[in-house]
Amino acid sequence: MFTQSLNTSIGSTQVVPVPPASPDQFCALTGHAGVVATEFSYRKDEEIYGEDEPAEYVYQIIRGAVRTYKLLSDGRRQIGTFHLPGDIFGLESGNNHRLAAEAIIDTTVRLVKRSSLEQAAGVDVRVARKLWSMTAGELRHAEDHMLLLGRKSAMERVANFLLEMDRRLAVAGMMALPMCRRDIGDYLGLTLETVSRALSQLHGEGVLGFSGARQIVLRNRQRLRNMDA
């Protein structure tokens, strides 16, 4: 919960007026008089908000990474999305959060009150369209993720994940994954052991290489694309 985290997170809260014009997606969304962005930091594994808590804020990651997840009735955890620097999260169609959100590593976010955005959307059609586009994007991701879990084999799921992270994270040909293999398994609906076996098999076949525990180099993207097709 955000209000609880005020007393426990790294650093202090800094209130920053959002500039009216910026190439940054969040600034473009919130560039209105009276809309104020707040920067805040969370430690590794610290909760940002809980499932079913009021959806009072919309967030953007400045640095770090966030996972959203739901605990199932049998105690298992299903991760819905990994949010990375630049991503916006916390948008909800209802009044409460459907999933909980945690910092994967030490993370800094920029946030604004949802009510402020809704007021801005009421007077500026560009903001309303942007909010709609972002919500539609979240829906598309949820649909794609559902199909991934329901229709693809374990190796196909891992291949899909690697290609997704390659698009979002790769710098100079290398991915530095913020999430651990257990996180990957909970995102793909696989056990830790299955994820490890799949990565080891891909490494043995020369599809990828390791440079440290979470640094991966893709050596044969076409092979992964063929698996994911």
pLDDT in tens, 163-172: 999 998 877 6
For residues 123 and 35, state if they share a domain: yes
Angle at 100 between CA 89 and CA 165, to 5 degrees: 55
133 and 188 co-located in one domain: no
Are 194 and 133 part of one and the same domain? no
Considering only residues 189 and 144, tell me which one the structure prediction assigns the higher pLDDT.
189
Strands (E), the chain: 14-17, 36-42, 47-49, 57-63, 66-71, 77-83, 88-89, 100-103, 107-113, 174-176, 208-210, 215-218
Angle between helices 192-204 and 154-169 (to 10 degrees): 80
Does 64 lie in the same domain as 45?
yes
| Same domain, residue pair 25 and 121 | yes
Q: How many helical (H) and strand (E) elements, i.e. helices and strands, does the chain have?
A: 8, 12
- Whether 86 and 157 map to the same domain: the answer is no
Mean pLDDT for the chain overall: 82
Residues 116 and 224 in one domain: no
The CATH number that applies at residue 23 is 2.60.120.10
End-to-end CA distance of the chain: 40
Decide: residue 151, CB within 10 A, 0-12 exposed, 13-18 middle, 19+ buried: exposed
Q: What is the pLDDT of residues 181-210, one digit of tens each?
A: 999 999 999 999 999 999 999 999 999 999
Q: Are both 108 and 118 inside the same structural domain? A: yes
Q: What pLDDT does 27 receive? A: 60
Task: Report yes or no: 99 and 80 within 8 Å, Cβ to Cβ.
Answer: yes
Domain boundary among 134, 150, 166: 150
Number of structural domains found in the chain? 2
Per the structure, the complete domain to which residue 70 belongs is given by 2-150
Is 90 found in the same domain as 191? no
Regarding whether 43 and 135 lie in a shared domain, the answer is yes
Of 123, 150, 177, which residue constitutes the final position of a domain? 150
pLDDT digits (tens, 9 = 90+) for 170-182: 776 789 999 999 9
Contact indicator for 205, 218 with CB cutoff of 8 Å: no
Question: CB count, 10 Å around CB of 191?
Answer: 14
Q: Are 69 and 81 in contact (CB under 8 A)?
A: no
Question: Taking residues 42-55, what's their average pLDDT?
Answer: 96
Residue 211's alpha-carbon distances to 73, 84, 104, 194, in angstroms, are 37, 21, 20, 21
pLDDT of residue 131: 74
pLDDT at 142: 81
Tell me the longest C-alpha to C-alpha distance in the chain: 57
Sheet holding 47-49, edge to edge: 47-49, 100-103, 66-71, 77-83
Q: What is the pLDDT of residue 2?
A: 42
Residue at a domain's end among 114, 133, 150: 150
| 34 and 122 fall within a common domain | yes
Same domain for 129 and 210 = no
Q: Is the pTM higher than 0.85?
A: no
Residue 13 has pLDDT above 70, yes or no: no
Q: CATH number of the domain at 204, please.
A: 1.10.10.10
Query: What is the identity of the amino acid at 90?
Result: G
Cβ atoms of 82 and 66 closer than 8 Å: yes
